[in-house]
Structure 1
Amino acid sequence: MFAGVLMLVNGVLGVFEGIAGIAKDDVYERIGDYVYKFNLSTWGWIHLVLGLVIAVTGWGILKGAGWAKATGVALAALGIVAQFLWLPYTPVWAVISIAIGVFVIWALCTDTAGRTGGV
């Protein structure tokens, strides 16, 4: 349940982050030379789509869908990479989002409810 709630919240916040990047390019700080520099609208679309998929997976985890656990680990890892690449634009929020992703992976990988003897 912990991982599902965190994924749902992180996904919704990712959607908001994406909308802010798409709607108004001056919301985020302009940076100089950066290896992974995209147009802010492109980053906005990346965060919007990734946020939607993460939120849907979080909902699947809360509903107990069989596909959601492995997908959640993969998407949390992808979200961590995306936030690491996004780090120069919003450093504080990116670090918080990376920490949420780590907690999601930890919670999904240590879940004992599906194992024999789990409660």
Structure 2
Amino acid sequence: MREGEGWVLFAWLMLLVAGVMSVIDGIVALSRSSFFHDVGAHYVAGNLTTWGWVVLIVGIVEIAAAVSVWRGGSFGRWVGILVAGISLVVWLSWIPIVPFWALFVMFLDVLVIYGLAVYGGQRQEA
């Protein structure tokens, strides 16, 4: 294994898991499940259907970025960094609601950004 290959693998896995979870969240929001009623009324901008579509589309982009990272494409590297950066900022707003989980996800986002920024280009060169 080359130097940094583990970081790229970690970033790929985190993007894939985040994408799948976002797709699931989007589908649940679109189905108007009671799962989001308490949180949805207070923390989600717009209505639940809009939130569901946005999260679903973001999840699909995350999965596409993960596939691109796995294949060594630059699309996945840059989109992965962008998505992790956006996630980092979004989770800042969730610190008062779920402090430990928000800080944990933010920590993972920083690791994904580091892995893709420092080592993400190595797969393309191989």
TM-score by length of 2: 0.70
Q: Distance in 2 between matches of 1:59 and 1:105?
A: 16
**Contact 2:74/2:121 (<8 A) preserved:** no
State the 4+ residue runs in structure 1 displaced beyond 6 angstroms: none
Aligned to 1:107: 115
What is the root-mean-square deviation in Å for CA atoms of aligned residues? 3.2
Structure 2: unaligned runs, 5 residues or longer: 1-8
Cα drift, residue 32 of structure 1: 5.9
Of the three residues 56, 62, 66, the one matched with 1:54 is: 62
Asked if structure 1 preserves the Cα contact closer than 8 Å seen for 2:16 and 2:62, the reply is: yes
Q: TM-score with structure 1 length normalisation?
A: 0.74
Percent sequence identity is 25
- Cα offset for 1:30? 4.2
- Whether 2:98 is the aligned partner of 1:91: answer yes
> How many residue pairs were aligned?
114
1:30-85 deviation per Cα after TM superposition (whole angstroms, max 9, x unaligned): 46666x63212211111110011011101110111122212210122123334445
CA–CA separation in structure 2 for the residues paired with 1:91 and 1:107: 26
